[in-house]
Amino acid sequence: MNYQKIIDETYVDILSSGNPGKVATYIPELGGVNPDQFGVHLITVNNENYSAGDSETPFSIQSIAKVFSLAMAYKHLGAKLWDRVDVEPSGNPFNSLVQLEHDEGIPRNPMINAGAIVICDILTTLLDEPKRDFLEFVRQLSGNNSINYDRNVAESEDATGFRNAALANFIRSFGNIKNDIDVVLDFYFHLCSLSMTCRELAETFVFLANNGRTLFGDRRVLTPSETKRINAIMLTCGFYDEAGEFTYRVGLPGKSGVGGGIAAVQPLSYSIAIWSPSLNAHGNSVRGFEFLERFTTRTGESIF
């Protein structure tokens, strides 16, 4: 498969089709990002790399980091994790409070904000220094010790994160948050502020295409069975209330973030990261969504 040729051709096609959508302004630090930036990077499980555009420009990965916190919690707790958070699609926006009362404080899945906040609470209990230990875990996944939080983004989220505070307090009322709310939210805001390039994100994500093993250092992160389950959660829940559309059009497990990033995997083959900050009404990158649909159509590679 000539991935570079397909990436280049698809990239040019997407550039020529305009750039609809809007950047996320409800987090002020994200509102000033140039919406015309657009990068792609693909890495195979054999460590072959292909890229286009702004693939070396750092950006805030936002909710994509929820996959890493989920992997870390699952590694520690195994199936006990699902006592605190479910694995069902929500069908609601990523920051919705609607289902929590009906579900008695058990978030529908770990990819929505409520679920990720519960995962942060779990890790706050398990880890000595959650922000430090989580960052070290991500660096081990990527083999890159330069990956870090963007403090400005974390502070911007903290200053405007009223709905996330409401989610955390509402979940706490059902007993599914055990630690101090401010500590859990501080960890959550830092988790979402992780800054990576498309290359770094694809490299960090590739363990999910490689049966749970990293390419760099050959570390066993998850068992093949655990890896399969996280990929299944991404497929059904990774794109908020547009997960079904992504599965229908693209056919890969993946996760989006309101920073404009999308990371996806073809199991046993590659991981791919795309970044374009302009979002659709569901909070997903317009160009990223379109790129991946055309890419999997041209390659003929999806999980289906």
Active site residues: 63, 66, 188, 240, 258
Helix and strand numbers (H, E) in the chain are: 13, 8
Angle at 269 (CA atoms; ends 267, 272), nearest 5 degrees: 85
Angle at 237 (CA atoms; ends 232, 238), nearest 5 degrees: 90
Question: Taking Cα atoms as reference points, which of 203, 273, 258, 264 lies closest to residue 235?
Answer: 264
CA distance 51 to 43: 9
Mention every residue, 6+ apart, whose C-beta is less than 8 A from residue 266: 209, 252, 272, 301, 302, 303
Task: Compute the Cα dihedral for 106, 112, 116, 117 and give only its sign.
Answer: negative
- Give Cα 147 distance to the centre of its chain: 15
The conformational region for residue 294 under phi > 0 = left, psi -120 to 50 = alpha, else beta, is alpha
170 burial type by CB count under 10 A (0-12 exposed, 13-18 middle, 19+ buried): middle
Contact 213, 220 (CB under 8 A): yes
CA distance 109 to 138: 21
CA distance 236 to 200: 24
Structure-token pair, residue 133: 């230990």
